[in-house]
């Protein structure tokens, strides 16, 4: 029996920096791009200041608005890589999941930055509680057209075909795809673009967890539900805005939402 309570609890909203090194930070959906300089600046500032005070960072997909291959050096990619490298060299562990926009991120990017790439379903021990980490697009099972494209675009044959094309061709194709995706989304209902509750519960059951953290939907919230008679939580991470960004911080077994 599944019971859902979609109310957002009164999580602490904080500002400023922490001096504790035990913080674990979760972020997603930054959608960094050349035409979004404010978000790029905020992320670089985050890496240079706030992130240095934490133990580890989990980026759960769509760090970039589009990724056409690890050989792309167009701005602001090099600046992002450099700051990530500085942070991992300082001892902060950074984990990255691919999103629906940057699923072509690969080993070369990780080798340059010191970031570790996580699989689509990752279970971690989050300060004593097994927690499933996902980007979130796989939970939107009602969007059948997207799920079909996802299967095709994650095949090695499709990716090899795309990555074998010249960089300029890939860049132009990516711009066309973003425009096409924008208009397709306008035709879809909000329900289709959100998670399917049955898929959420089935996924959590499959991985034997009662806590799930994901992004993708751009609908930040903390949902409380019941699975097989036990209380469970689903944290939806916020997408980064032009004027601010909210991050999920875990410290001493408790969470807070911190505004940058």
* DSSP-derived secondary structure for 50-87: GGGGEEEEEEES-SBS----TT---TTHHHHHHHHHHH
pLDDT at 189: 60
pLDDT at 186: 56
Bigger pLDDT: 171 vs 231: 231
Contact partners, residue 208, CB within 8 Å, separation at least 6:
130
Q: Domain coordinates of the chain in residue numbers?
A: 3-259
pTM, rounded to two decimals:
0.88
pLDDT at 188: 61
| Gyration radius (Cα) of the chain, Å | 18
CATH number of 3-259, picked from 2.60.450.10, 3.30.930.10, 3.60.21.10, 1.10.3720.10: 3.60.21.10
Residues constituting the chain: 260
126-172 pLDDT, tens digit per residue, is 999 999 999 999 999 999 999 999 999 999 999 999 999 999 999 88
pLDDT at 185: 62
87-124 pLDDT, tens digit per residue, is 999 999 999 999 999 999 999 999 999 999 999 999 99
58-80 pLDDT, tens digit per residue, is 999 999 999 999 999 999 999 99
170-199 pLDDT, tens digit per residue, is 988 887 777 666 556 655 666 677 999 999
């Amino acid at each position: 029996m599944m019971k859902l309570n979609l109310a957002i609890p009164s999580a602490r909203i904080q500002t400023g920096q922490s001096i504790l090194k035990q913080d674990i930070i979760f972020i997603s959906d930054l959608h960094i791009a050349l035409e979004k300089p404010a978000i790029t600046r905020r992320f670089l500032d985050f890496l240079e200041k706030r992130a240095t005070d934490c133990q580890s960072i989990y980026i759960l997909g769509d760090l970039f608005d589009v990724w056409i291959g690890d050989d792309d050096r167009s701005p602001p990619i090099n600046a992002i890589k450099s700051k990530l490298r500085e942070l991992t060299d300082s001892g902060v562990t950074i984990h990255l999941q691919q999103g629906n926009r940057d699923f072509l991120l690969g080993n070369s990017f990780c080798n340059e930055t010191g970031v570790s790439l996580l699989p689509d379903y990752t279970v971690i021990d989050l300060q004593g509680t097994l927690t499933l980490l996902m980007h979130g697009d796989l939970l939107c099972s009602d969007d059948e057209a997207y799920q079909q494209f996802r299967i095709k675009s994650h095949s090695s044959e499709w990716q090899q075909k795309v990555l074998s094309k010249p960089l300029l061709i890939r860049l132009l194709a990516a711009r066309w795809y973003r425009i096409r995706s924008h208009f397709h989304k306008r035709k879809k209902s909000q329900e289709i673009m959100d998670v399917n509750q049955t898929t959420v519960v089935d996924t959590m059951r499959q991985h034997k967890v009662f806590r799930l953290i994901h992004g993708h939907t751009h609908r930040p919230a903390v949902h409380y539900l019941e699975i097989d008679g036990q209380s469970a939580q689903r944290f939806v991470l916020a997408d980064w805005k032009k004027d601010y960004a909210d991050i999920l911080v875990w410290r001493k077994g408790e969470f807070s939402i911190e505004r940058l």
